Structure 1
Amino acid sequence: MPTTDAPAPSRARRILGSFGFQISAALVLGVVLGLVALQLGPGADGADNPLAETLATIGSSYVALLKTAVVPLILTAIIASIARLGRVQNAARLAGQTLLWFAITAAIAVTIGIALGVTLQPGARVDGSGLEPGEPSRVGGWWDFLTGLVPQNFLGLTVSTRESAEGVISSTVGFNVLQVIVVATVVGIAALKLGKKAQPFLDFTESTLKVIQKALWWVIRIAPIGTVGLLGNAVVQYGWEKLGTLAWFVGAIYLGLALVLFVVYPALVKAHGLSIRQYFSGVWPAVQLAFVSRSSMGTLPLTQRVTERNLGVPREYASFAVPFGSTTKMDGCAAIYPAIAAIFVAQFFGIELTLIQYLLIAVVSIVGSAATAGTTGATVMLTLTLSTLGLPLEGVGLLLAVDPIVDMGRTAVNVAGQALVPTIVAKREGILDRAIYDGPRGDGPFLDDSDEAAEADASTPSGAEPDERREPVPAR
């Protein structure tokens, strides 16, 4: 009589080869190596030991690899998505619903942040003798949104120079994501207006996008290696000893982040008739990578992939909503954190906030993330909040010691929200592929990363309706 039980070795190989297991193992290994590096201590000349330097290099190199592909990915994805959305009757409604749910979830998150700041009083529980106020290196402003909309060049590239204490001048090349989105949107609309004349260009863009996505997936496949370096370096650089007198502040931040991620988001998922378990199992790989990389933009390729392949959001919509959300949908950095941090600063300096100022915190958090898109950093968002409330900007320096520690949680919540909103909107508009959303996730709650799945995904017709798209690839 034939048996249906899979042999144990085959199951073990599937588990060991799964993306999620490898990331989880890398998290543990990163912490262990980081602790070992701490025990080794600095070298004789005071420099970091070789293990610490290796972990730092691996981590920074991996994030650099991810960020390198962000500009071409956003440029080609948005141009292609606009062309696809042009064939969808409710494209304008999709965009409006996306913005609406960005605002709704941000309002809920900032309300939680304000409630925790008022209730827990983190600024009143701190020992001021161990903290030093300091001016921020960069201040956010409402004009940043308007000036950031105007592209300085085709790719939104920026160059900054800095002179060290030794007189060495170094230059850093970056990019303004908001400007890249503006350029891509304009090009996409222009191609749409040209009609058949622009079809060769759109075909080229589609092909380029598939090539970029394939190359990016190779980079994401080595995420466990990057995770070891990133988390190991975090343990070496920051550790938990820096919490000190800011333990109440860090605790309030993580409590707020946990409430949003594990209470608010599941409630919204359940309210729309979707499985909470399937949401978390689908989005979790991106949340993990966001936690260790501390970069929403670096995690963008994986966020978009799990939104499409695990949560069932149509590519035509996801390729627009996820990149847009990665610059403007930041419940961690732009809602929870600035609310609690602003209240902390007010309490530390003995300033009593009025009801109007609490309302201003909410307004800034809901619309302010767009004002700092492309200039990012939670520090910029915090300075925008403090300046709007008339609070001393020196308060930013109080929190810098623990910023990397809270940034891990902030980024994880950012990414979870960036996948949640497109899923909710797709469900409300009747375009969510439930076969994919409710489908299997391999042998664990993680992304199936088989080459066959990647090829099936790449071959999906761009104009396919939800029920024409591929079925989830079963675990091997």
Structure 2
Amino acid sequence: MGLTTKILLGMLAGIVAGVIIYAVGHTLMPGSALANFLDTYLTQGLFDIAGRVFIASLKLMVVPLVLVSLICGACALSEGHRIGPLAGKTLLLYLLTTAVAITLALVVALVVQPGTGVEASADATFEVKEQPPLSEVLVNIFPTNPVQAMAEGNMLQIIVFALLMGYAISRCGEPGRRVSAFFNDLNEVILRMVGVLMVFAPYGVFALLAKTFAELGWDFMLDLGKYFLVVLGVLLLHGLGFYSVLLKLLSGLNPLELLKKMRPAMAFAFSTASSAATIPVTLATVEKRLGVDNKVAAFTVPLGATINMDGTAIMQGVATAFIAQMYGIDIGLGGYLTVILTATLASIGTAGVPGVGLIMLAMVLQQVGLPLEGIAIVMGVDRLLDMVRTAVNITGDSVVSTVVAKSEGAFSEEVFYDRNYNSVAGGMDGGGEARPVAQ
């Protein structure tokens, strides 16, 4: 059995176990000794510990993997003077997909009308965190202390530092070649660490989903079921439909191949609900299974995990229409166009800011004069949706990475269409080299 299959089975088993534990504790035997035992020793004990350890292990790999991979990629790009065109294409595509995501969300929400007939809760309150001014956000992209940026996991600052260092290495002649060789070797060592971690992935995924569904239940669906289903439907439409069309139009590649090979990374994203924590898996999958060269993937994947917020944009679009309908406020065509523009630009302008999803939604609602109390209402069903939109986000990262790599001549169709790779990192057996795995 391949690692991909094990991860998907772990994901399914975790959901089933969580639903059973929730049913025992809330429906069949609430307050019983068995329910208390399951909650104390499994949900809050074993599953919680195993899941948190697994997330911590993934986060452990993020900064060194992004830094080293991006330095290696920047060295190669700088030699061919391709950093500018690569960055331009990547940013343009990420902005395009975000604009399409929120437009699609608004259109579907206006047609379905999920907020019609829903009564606004009188006691709903939401306190908006003060957002930094745009000038401060732009200045903070550039690090004053790269060690501090790495310690805090500030992706944009790490990306800027790595690009600068990679460019400098490529311009240093023989000393630069020695340093470049060191980072290339270090990159292989880090990929081996990722491969070792993947052995425990099915168990980590199981623990994360078992705990989530043991606590979640289905009560959250009753009051806001229509809103939940609209957001979920648009997420699936964008993730499976729009990305497939975009990939086919811009690269001519088969979208089904990409979706098949991204399944394990999607499972990770769904389980962790964190694009940043999934970076090691996404990067390994994009390189080893999709055939994207490291010099492109090392730039597009970390940047996408930071600024590509298609899933969040979809939530904002549906939430804006839902809140407007719930309060009976007509913001008009101009208001909805403002929502599209604000959310698209905010996806970059608020990158790296804590609680970015809520800050972006608050910014959008403030721009069109909708009550911020509506956020407290929709956030009640946001937990599972957050998992789905993270999977959509990393799928978008992989599509943009593939399209940009194909346009830059840094792509292998042989690897993309090779179906003999069976592990999460494209056949990695714990080392940095990819190998075919028998089906």
| Same fold flag (TM > 0.5) | yes
Is 97-106 or 140-149 further displaced after alignment? 140-149
Aligned twin of 1:201: 179
In 1: Cα distance, 2:148 partner to 2:239 partner? 32
5 Å-filtered alignment, 1:126-275, equals: 126-129=118-121, 132-136=124-128, 139=131, 142-143=134-135, 145-151=137-143, 153-157=145-149, 174-271=152-249, 272-275=251-254
Alpha-carbon shift at residue 139 of structure 1 (Å): 4.6
Aligned twin of 1:456: 433
Alignment match of 1:364 (pick from 331, 334, 342): 342
Is 37-46 or 286-295 further displaced after alignment? 37-46
Alpha-carbon shift at residue 113 of structure 1 (Å): 0.9
In 1: Cα distance, 2:68 partner to 2:106 partner? 39
SS at 2:6's partner residue?
helix
In 2: Cα distance, 1:387 partner to 1:206 partner? 47
**Structure 1 residues 127 and 306, CA gap change in structure 2 (3 angstroms):** same
In 2: Cα distance, 1:204 partner to 1:246 partner? 54
In 2: Cα distance, 1:157 partner to 1:90 partner? 26
Unaligned 5+ residue runs, structure 2? none
Alpha-carbon shift at residue 243 of structure 1 (Å): 2.0
Alignment match of 1:276 (pick from 231, 246, 255): 255
Alpha-carbon shift at residue 83 of structure 1 (Å): 0.6
**Structure 1 residues 200 and 427, CA gap change in structure 2 (3 angstroms):** closer
Alpha-carbon shift at residue 204 of structure 1 (Å): 2.5
Aligned twin of 2:42: 51
In 1: Cα distance, 2:404 partner to 2:253 partner? 12
SS at 1:122's partner residue?
coil
Alignment match of 1:353 (pick from 316, 321, 331): 331
In 1: Cα distance, 2:335 partner to 2:407 partner? 35
Alignment match of 1:101 (pick from 59, 73, 93): 93
Alignment match of 1:425 (pick from 404, 409, 412): 404
In 1: Cα distance, 2:31 partner to 2:266 partner? 32
SS at 2:145's partner residue?
coil
SS at 1:332's partner residue?
helix
Aligned twin of 1:475: 438
Is 38-47 or 357-366 further displaced after alignment? 38-47
> 1:139, 1:383 within 8 Å by CA — same for their partners in 2?
no
Matched, 1:414 2:393: yes
Alpha-carbon shift at residue 447 of structure 1 (Å): 5.5
**Structure 1 residues 138 and 228, CA gap change in structure 2 (3 angstroms):** farther
In 2: Cα distance, 1:266 partner to 1:299 partner? 21
Where has structure 1 moved over 6 Å in runs of 4 or more?
42-47
Q: Deviations over 1:446-467 (max 9, x none)?
A: 6543528x4534xxxxxxxxxx
In 1: Cα distance, 2:122 partner to 2:219 partner? 13
Alpha-carbon shift at residue 442 of structure 1 (Å): 4.3
In 2: Cα distance, 1:138 partner to 1:229 partner? 35
Aligned twin of 1:7: none
Q: Deviations over 1:358-384 (max 9, x none)?
A: 122211232211122212542232123
Kindly provide the amino acid, as one letter, of the partner of residue 437 in structure 1: F
Give the number of equivalent residue pairs: 429
> 2:296, 2:410 within 8 Å by CA — same for their partners in 1?
no
Alpha-carbon shift at residue 178 of structure 1 (Å): 1.8
Aligned twin of 1:462: none
CA RMSD between the two structures = 2.6
> 1:72, 1:212 within 8 Å by CA — same for their partners in 2?
yes
Is 25-34 or 146-155 further displaced after alignment? 146-155
Aligned twin of 1:65: 57
**Structure 1 residues 441 and 289, CA gap change in structure 2 (3 angstroms):** farther
Q: Deviations over 1:143-194 (max 9, x none)?
A: 5632431435323459xxxxxxxxxxxxxx8432222222222322333343
**Structure 1 residues 443 and 74, CA gap change in structure 2 (3 angstroms):** closer
Kindly provide the amino acid, as one letter, of the partner of residue 52 in structure 1: T
TM-score by length of 2: 0.89
SS at 2:262's partner residue?
helix
Larger fraction in helix: 2
SS at 1:132's partner residue?
coil
Alignment match of 1:320 (pick from 296, 299, 324): 299
> 1:101, 1:421 within 8 Å by CA — same for their partners in 2?
yes
Unaligned 5+ residue runs, structure 1? 1-15, 159-172, 458-471
Is 180-189 or 50-59 further displaced after alignment? 180-189
In 1: Cα distance, 2:361 partner to 2:259 partner? 29
